[in-house]
Amino acid sequence: MGVSFLKVFAIFAIVSGWVKKAFADGKVSVKEGLELVTQLAEALEIPLEWDIPEVVSDIAEDVLVGQEAVVAEGPEIEPVIEHDSG
């Protein structure tokens, strides 16, 4: 499969914008990572297929149930999980 010069330029622009945003706030969220993958797939005209393991779905459901219980009974919480990879 050949990639045209215009697509290469579009990919560079997408990645460059994403990197600037990541450096600006010093972190990368899962949402930002998924946005990058989605934009690149669209630029390359490649269909996306999300294969999420059942264990991840179960954990996400448990987190949402817990968050709903806390919101109903306590103070508002911030839906951000920080991770120190270093």
Q: For residue range 24-79, list pLDDT tens digits in order.
A: 888 888 888 899 999 999 998 999 888 878 888 888 888 888 888 777 766 666 66
Is residue 36 within 8 A of residue 18, CB to CB? The reply is yes
Whether 9 has a pLDDT exceeding 60, the answer reads yes
The pLDDT value recorded for residue 12 is 93
Predicted local distance difference test score (pLDDT) of residue 79: 66
Put simply, whether the predicted model's pTM sits higher than 0.75 gets the answer no
**Cα dihedral value 29, 21, 86, 38, nearest 10:** 40
Judged by phi (left if over 0) then psi (alpha if -120 to 50, else beta), residue 14 lies in: alpha
pLDDT of 39 reads 93
- pLDDT recorded at residue 86: 57
* Closest of 46, 4, 38 to residue 18, by C-alpha: 38
